[in-house]
Structure 1
Amino acid sequence: MLLTIFMKHDQGKTLEEINAHLDRTGFRKSFPPPGVEVVSWYVMMGVGQVVTVRLPPEKLREVNLAFEKGAWGAFRTEFYPTYDYRAIWEKARSATP
């Protein structure tokens, strides 16, 4: 499955404070957990970061725990199950007269 994660910056913290939190909690070492692939990772200026990962459904709990233990306090997080619509869109577009 694909999972898109919005990591909204806590704008009450500086970038240095956010990075110190991530270092202190070990988030960068615990995420992504083994067996989870980062498909994309973008910075949205003024918002935060958006990460899409590919994972087997049984790894969902590990992803959640990595965020609860490491990213909370630096980011507010939102999780969205995602699927790749591009091939469907391209097929539909080419079939349209």
Structure 2
Amino acid sequence: MTAGITPRQIIARIAAEHGVSPADIAGKVRTARIVAARFAAIHAVKEAKPAYSLTQIANHFGHRHHTTILHALRKVESDGVPLPPAALTSSHSGAAP
């Protein structure tokens, strides 16, 4: 990611990839699809803006508590970055060998 990209732009890109809105990512809904997009966006913001504190990142995600951001980053570290739904279906749609 480039240095000039803003967290808002990152969130919008991840939201589009996951088929949700930026408002969904910043909102309170905790369905699996939205949480996956939120965690991917949190990870992407931290990767693009490593100098941002957890509180600064949290402010872009509905003013969540900084420990929520820490949990998301740890979850991505242990489980990997959540893939958008289209990536999941395309990786399993091939014919069996």
Which band: TM-score by shorter chain?
Answer: 0.3 to 0.5
TM-score relative to the length of structure 2: 0.35
Larger helix proportion, structure 1 or 2? 2
TM-score relative to the length of structure 1: 0.35
Report which of the two structures shows the higher radius of gyration computed on alpha carbons: 1
